Amino acid sequence: MEFFIDTGDIEEIKEASKWGIVDGVTTNPSLIAKTGRSQHDVIHDIVKLIDGPISAEVLSTDKDGMLKEAASLSEIHPNVVIKLPLTIDGLAACKELSEKKIKTNVTLCFSVNQALIAAKAGATYISPFIGRLDDVGHDGMGLIEEIRTVYDNYGYQTKILAASIRHATHVRDAAIVGSDVGTMPYKVLKSLYGHPLTEKGLDQFLKDAGLQ
C-alpha cells in the first residue's frame, strides 16, 4: 500500500520525507487555507520535496471552470494530480482530463455507486472518506472492501485511496481489505512507528549494553 501524507504544511512534509515511506501528498482547500498561502505556491514547494503524486483540488463547481483550473495546476509539475468533486460536472471533467492523460483524484466518495461511476469516468484515484462515514454511524472500512470487490470484478484500474483516516487502526484495516493507497495526517503517519513493546525492548537492550 502506498502512503500519502494529507497536509499543506511544508514543515510536516519536509520531516516526513526523511522517513523514506512517503509516496505522495494530498491537499484540499481546507488544508491549503490553514497555510495562509495560495495553492499554487504551496504545490510549487511540495513538488520540490516529494517525487510522487501531489493532489491539488479545483475550486470551481462547473465543468469548464474545473478544466481551466486543471490546466493551470497541471502546468506546475507532471506529478500534480487534479482533485475533482464527485458531481456530474466533476466526473465530466474527469472524463475529459483522463482522455488527455491527466491524472485525477475524485474526492468526497461515500458510496459504491459513486466509486463505480468515477472508475467509468477514468479516475486515476477514488477517495472514499472512511472517517466521515464512521462519524455518522456508517461502516467506512466496509465501503473500501466493497469498492475493492467491484473494481476487481470488472478490472477497473482506478486506485482506491482511503481518505479521512483518523488513526493507525484505519491504516491497518485499509491495508487488510486491499486499499491501494492510504492518505493520512502527519500525526497518524508518525503513530505507525509506535508500540510500547518496541520502546520497552529497546530500553532493555540499551541497559544490557551499558548504554543507559
Q: Characterize 74-99 residue by residue with b for buried, 16 or more Cβ atoms within 10 angstroms of its Cβ, and e for exposed.
A: bebeebbbbbbbbbebbbbbbbbbbe
Task: Return the C-alpha cell found at 76.
Answer: 506546475
Residue 207 appears among annotated catalytic residues: no
Give CA–CA dist 206/212, Å, rounded. 6
Taking alpha carbons only, the member of 106, 160, 175, 165 closest to residue 140 is: 165
User: Which residue among 14, 63, 83, 100 is the active-site one?
Assistant: 83
Residues with catalytic function: 83
